[in-house]
Amino acid sequence: MVIYYDSKTGNVQRFVNKVKKERPNWKFVKIDSEMKVDEEGHLLTFTTKIGETPIPTSEFLEKNSKYIKSISSSGNMNWGVFFAVAADKMSEKYGIPVCMKFELSGTHVEVEHFIEYVEKN
């Protein structure tokens, strides 16, 4: 299983670290805007500013969306309707399902939900 991820403030990285503890045999790849992939996987990213998709994530998806099976995004519930909305925007643009949205670095329950979704899809 491949998990692609983008992290700016460290919240997504901390979520990835929690998943790694539960699934050490999965492959985790930090993306950059120039990266091209050839393996299917799931994408974890964040919402930046007020409801915007991070530029490196957008550029990664422009090249690799056909390999992405789901999108999950972190965010801050203080943003209200803009909470983790990057996942919705990317889903709409690329036709990729949203696995989940999680606050900041996620809870244990959210990590379990992510793992369950990935293993079923």
Phi, psi (rounded to 5 degrees) for 69: -90, -25
What string of DSSP letters covers 43-65?
EEEE-BTTTB--HHHHHHHHHHG
How many Å apart are CA 2 and CA 19, to the nearest integer?
12
* pLDDT tens, position by position, 59-91: 999 999 999 999 999 988 888 888 889 999 999
Cα first-last separation, the chain:
10
Task: Note down the domain range covering 81.
Answer: 2-120
Q: What digits encode the pLDDT tens for the residues 7-62?
A: 988 899 999 999 999 999 999 999 998 999 999 999 999 988 878 889 999 999 99
In the chain, the number of structural domains is 1
Contacts of 94 (CB under 8 A, 6+ apart): 61, 65, 68
- CATH at 75: 3.40.50.360
Whole-structure pTM over 0.85, yes or no?
A: yes
